[in-house]
Amino acid sequence: MLGMDWLLQSKGYIDFGRLELCVNGIRVKCTGSFGEHFAGQVVVAKTIEIQAGHETIATGAIVGGCEGFKGPLVMEPVDSAGRLGEKGLLMASAVVEMPTEVVPIRLLNPNKEKRVLHAGTTVAVVSPVHVEAPPLGYDTEAEGSTLPIHL
């Protein structure tokens, strides 16, 4: 990941809306070696109201030319400058298996008032991730290694 110090020195920034890196006025498309996108955006698919102090799962969709991704993707919230941060909402990072029509977005509203996220609001970025099998001899059934049922 590019460091903030380097970006400031080179007058650079990352434009997630256009999937471009801009350095010293030069724009570079953020694509793979064959011109395919390697990062996408997740938007809220349906307007949702989140009650104060509650957690919910919103329906999301991948947009921006990245709908054809296959395999696992890591989904991470946009920077705090995004709509989530403005509304004081928190979003969990997750791994999403593609292809899928619906992307689940886990949200928490720690505020004292309800919040509304409107359809089309960008809340996360996704990028492909390589999942490796555990090393030979690794005990995946070790005591305490299971997730609670509610997760």
Q: What is the DSSP letter of 84?
A: H
CA separation for the pair 45, 147 (Å, rounded): 29
In the structure, what pLDDT confidence band is assigned to residue 23 with cuts at 50, 70 and 90? Answer: confident
Domain 36-128 has CATH 3.40.470.10: no
Query: What is the per-residue pLDDT across 28-46, written as a single tens digit (0 to 9) for each?
Result: 776 665 565 567 789 999 9
Provide the pLDDT for residue 14.
77
Average pLDDT over residues 68-90: 80
- Least confident piece of the model among 73-77, 120-124, 128-132: 128-132
In the structure, what pLDDT confidence band is assigned to residue 73 with cuts at 50, 70 and 90? Answer: confident
- Answer whether residue 74 shows pLDDT above 90: no
- Answer whether residue 107 shows pLDDT above 80: yes
- The structural domains of the chain, with segments of one domain joined by +, span 1-30, 36-128
CA separation for the pair 54, 107 (Å, rounded): 8
The CA-based angle 23-25-27, given to 5 degrees, is 70
